[in-house]
Structure 1
Amino acid sequence: MKLQCDVEVVNRMLPTFGMKSRGKGSRAVLCIGKHLDKTSQRCSVYLMICTAKDRTGSKYKLKDNIEKFFTWFVEEGKATADANSLKNFLSAARLADRGSDASSLPLSTLTPVRARDVEQPKKKLTIVSKKDYPLTSSFPYSLEQLQVSYCKLSRVDTRMLSLKALRKLDLSNNHIKKLPATIGDLACLSELVLHSNHLEAFSEALCLSTLQRTLQLLDLSQNRLQSLPAQFCQLRELVNLKLDDNKLVSLPFHVGRLAKLRFLSAAHNQLAVLPGDFRKLRLENLDLFGNPFVQPNTLDHTMQLTFPVSLQELASRAVANLRIPYGPHLIPAHLCRDLELAKTCDCGRFCINFYIKTAVSMNLHQVSHTVVLVDDMGGTDAPVQQHFCSLSCYSEFLDNSLRRGIR
């Protein structure tokens, strides 16, 4: 049995001579196997430790030679080796210490190791040429940063999705059209860079995956996205979001829920108006240059009201206004989806599917410290949606707007 890990061998007599151990482990290969004891001319089970400085290895007899096994770090997941492999290795060492029959132990040949076996685990790998892309070998399991660019990938390689320590994945400048939902299984992923691909959608499954708790940077610029799902705003750890040079006609309805977002760029899209929730953002840098924003006029509106208001609408408004808990286990799923898209009226109450909608001008400095000009004319204003739950709320808004001379 062999195990690759970081090992520190400590001589407990050092303090007696006023010396300290260096307190740092070295990359090593541990082996358990048989070795002929030249003194007794008997084969015994030994533990062999091979390092970069000593590839031939140092051997330690196991039988009746271990005072105690410490397994706290194994149980808490703090060991530098794979937890399951380490548990099996310690189990074999314990059996050898007790003198168990060697035939029942998973033994290895005690031979010198190769140099690559005792190298430090590779944490970063950059591939920027198709000829360098590995076709037959696997990616190092220890990778924390992986960049694969200019390789003409049409899909995400499934071998990348098994890299459980991966923190940054850069697949920019490829031909990827669709993202697998299993990217959401990368439990440590904090940066996902996908600019300059052929993406046409960002799936709901990714928004509801473990990326909710880990993803801080997402670069989707220079793709073919026309919209983002409502669930996109579940990625609440996002700090930096890049959406430039797509075909987006709108931003997610509840974009204001991205409370940690500090950098947002969505330049050169097809945005005509921003969602009302946009007002809740608190950014450090905002870039919306090159979007065909409409010139807002409070008298231009969309009327989506019926008289009288339907009972379903009244009930849904009551649930939203009174903050009554709901879910698919209590009400139909389509009503849950409607409630997730509840609009806030100027009066502070909610409306669901029946409302009056218009657009008002907002200076983007209200939501961001630094603002890139919206157009070549030097403006920093953009239209934001405004909803009203009734005719009386809309009329009161118009009266106030006219008094302030706003059109």
Structure 2
Amino acid sequence: MKLHCEVEVISRHLPALGLRNRGKGVRAVLSLCQQTPGSLPRPRFRGEPGGQHPACLLISTLKDKRGTRYELKENIEQFFTKFVDEGKATVRLKEPPVDICLSKANSSSLKGFLSAVRLAHRGCDIETPLLTLTPVKTSEFEKFKTKMVITSKKDYPLSKNFPYSLEHLQTSYCGLVRVDMRMLCLKNLRKLDLSHNHIKKLPATIGDLVHLQELNLNDNHLESFSVALCQSTLQQSLRSLDLSKNKIKALPVQFCQLQELTDLKLDDNELIRFPFKMGQLKNLRFLSAARNKLPFLPSEFKNLSLEYLDLFGNTFEQPKVLPDIMLQAPLTLLESSARTVLYNSRIPYDPGIIPFHLCQDLGTAKTCVCGRFCLNSFIQGTATMNLHSVAHTVVLVDNMGGTEAPIISYFCSLACYVNSSDMLN
């Protein structure tokens, strides 16, 4: 039985000597081995019942392929497994007095390996055949690859898994029609490039890649970006997203929950609108959505602070002279309640408190120019905005050299509309 991970062996005598450990693990192969009579360090182990000798733990590194051996039988003081689901654990030995700290391991493999180590500590039989004490081959350490680039079908692995330690995986021009579920087991993945394939739908389990920072889906057949992904751990990790050259018509309003996004590419899609809460992407610095079908920009677009903006080749319409008036008098109970809840941020709400459809309504509320909110009672007007007001560098909107685009504004009352009428001139 073997386990591939990073290992740091810490002596508990170091603090008493005024020394500190290195604080960094090294890539290693852990093997649960059968000790041979010639390898037993102490005579008391000879003649185990049934001809069996106690198992030992062999830690081998690229610099020390022969490895360092540690006895296990009745020699483990404590297991630390609080973070085993993250591929981390520590085994504290009695003799020598060291802590063997494991990290970046496959969580399921780590659990199985620790179970076998427990059995060895108790002197019980281990179902998995034990290995012999032999040096580890160099090829074993190839499983520690952190980057893999595949750019053709013939190189795509069909019969073997991806190295668990991958942090950067690119599989382009491989003809993939769906995301390979084996990729979703790569818990250390930080960059996933699936560009130039035929993927039509993204599994929600991509959101389980808790360290994923860059996702490239350029040139696929995607028609949507699911709400589940917007509400996954990608909210905390995703920095760069490339959805260019797909068939996406709209992004869900929940897309704006990806608060850590700094770079977003949406070129060459079929977008007819941006999420109207676009302004919530406070960290966004680079936005490209050229050659789409955007007629207007949402009102909250003016809250962005970009370094680079490209909206060339969209079908922007001329602002309307007259606004669309959808005011209700008097306000419905739903409208009045929604405005109160949204304006007072101290009032919590979730599906456990109010019906789910009401949560959806509150989540799609529009923001008035005065900062208040409106649900179904509002005035909608359009105006022209110079894109340099939200971006340092602006690619021309059209071949005529323009840098202006129409923007939708909402007004919660006639008074707000009258007070802001100069915006629409």
- C-alpha distance in 2 between matches for 1:24 and 1:131: 35
Look up the match of 1:3. Answer: 3
- C-alpha distance in 1 between matches for 2:111 and 2:6: 16
Look up the match of 1:31. Answer: 32
**Partner amino acid, structure 1, of 2:240:** L
Is structure 2 residue 158 aligned with structure 1 residue 135? yes
- C-alpha distance in 2 between matches for 1:9 and 1:348: 57
- C-alpha distance in 2 between matches for 1:328 and 1:74: 31
**Rg (Cα) greater in structure:** 1
Look up the match of 1:16. Answer: none
Is structure 2 residue 395 aligned with structure 1 residue 372? yes
Q: Deviations over 1:130-154 (max 9, x none)?
A: 1111112111111111100011111
**Partner amino acid, structure 1, of 2:389:** Q
Look up the match of 2:303. Answer: 280
Look up the match of 1:292. Answer: 315
Look up the match of 1:45. Answer: 54
**Partner amino acid, structure 1, of 2:140:** D
Shift of 1:333: 2.8
- C-alpha distance in 1 between matches for 2:284 and 2:240: 9
Are 1:52 and 1:119, in contact at CA under 8 Å, matched by a contact in 2?
A: no
**Partner amino acid, structure 1, of 2:36:** H
TM-score (norm 2): 0.81
Q: Deviations over 1:185-220 (max 9, x none)?
A: 111111110011111111111111111111111100
- Match among 360, 384, 403 for residue 383 of structure 2: 360
Shift of 1:85: 4.2
Look up the match of 1:84. Answer: 111
Q: Pairwise mapping of residues 176-215 of structure 1 onto structure 2 (< 5 A)?
A: 176-215=199-238
Q: Deviations over 1:347-382 (max 9, x none)?
A: 443221121111111111221122112122222211
- C-alpha distance in 1 between matches for 2:333 and 2:25: 70
Is structure 2 residue 188 aligned with structure 1 residue 165? yes
- C-alpha distance in 2 between matches for 1:24 and 1:202: 38
2:300 is paired with a residue of what secondary structure?
helix
Is structure 2 residue 367 aligned with structure 1 residue 344? yes
Structure 1 residues 385 and 12: alpha-carbon distance in aligned structure 2, compared to 1, 3 A threshold? closer
Look up the match of 2:96. Answer: none
- C-alpha distance in 2 between matches for 1:8 and 1:317: 56
CA RMSD between the two structures: 3.1
Is structure 2 residue 228 aligned with structure 1 residue 219? no
- Match among 305, 309, 313 for residue 327 of structure 2: 305
Are 1:3 and 1:85, in contact at CA under 8 Å, matched by a contact in 2?
A: no
2:222 is paired with a residue of what secondary structure?
coil
1:392 is paired with a residue of what secondary structure?
helix
1:37 is paired with a residue of what secondary structure?
helix
Shift of 1:90: 4.1
1:394 is paired with a residue of what secondary structure?
helix
Look up the match of 2:98. Answer: none
TM-score (norm 1): 0.84
- C-alpha distance in 1 between matches for 2:333 and 2:72: 78
**Partner amino acid, structure 2, of 1:337:** Q
Structure 1 residues 370 and 37: alpha-carbon distance in aligned structure 2, compared to 1, 3 A threshold? same
Shift of 1:281: 1.0
Q: Deviations over 1:252-297 (max 9, x none)?
A: 0111111111111111111111001111111111111111112224
Look up the match of 2:338. Answer: 316
Q: Pairwise mapping of residues 251-262 of structure 1 onto structure 2 (< 5 A)?
A: 251-262=274-285
Look up the match of 1:109. Answer: 131
Q: Deviations over 1:112-138 (max 9, x none)?
A: 344322446011111000111111211
- C-alpha distance in 2 between matches for 1:207 and 1:89: 39
**Partner amino acid, structure 1, of 2:35:** K
Instruction: Provide the aligned length of Structure 1 versus Structure 2.
Output: 389
Are 2:31 and 2:131, in contact at CA under 8 Å, matched by a contact in 1?
A: no
- C-alpha distance in 1 between matches for 2:146 and 2:280: 34
1:320 is paired with a residue of what secondary structure?
helix
- C-alpha distance in 2 between matches for 1:321 and 1:250: 26
Structure 1 residues 157 and 75: alpha-carbon distance in aligned structure 2, compared to 1, 3 A threshold? closer
Unaligned 5+ segments in structure 2 are: 14-19, 90-101
Shift of 1:104: 5.8
Are 2:116 and 2:126, in contact at CA under 8 Å, matched by a contact in 1?
A: no
Moved more, 169-178 or 134-143: 134-143
Moved more, 43-52 or 151-160: 43-52
Shift of 1:11: 10
Are 1:241 and 1:264, in contact at CA under 8 Å, matched by a contact in 2?
A: yes
2:328 is paired with a residue of what secondary structure?
coil
Structure 1 residues 213 and 58: alpha-carbon distance in aligned structure 2, compared to 1, 3 A threshold? closer
- C-alpha distance in 1 between matches for 2:12 and 2:375: 72
Moved more, 110-119 or 136-145: 110-119
Structure 1 residues 342 and 8: alpha-carbon distance in aligned structure 2, compared to 1, 3 A threshold? closer
2:36 is paired with a residue of what secondary structure?
strand
- Match among 251, 261, 268 for residue 291 of structure 2: 268
- C-alpha distance in 2 between matches for 1:204 and 1:255: 15
- C-alpha distance in 2 between matches for 1:73 and 1:332: 40
Structure 1 residues 105 and 150: alpha-carbon distance in aligned structure 2, compared to 1, 3 A threshold? closer
- C-alpha distance in 2 between matches for 1:10 and 1:279: 54
- C-alpha distance in 1 between matches for 2:416 and 2:11: 80
Aligned-residue sequence identity (percent) comes to 49
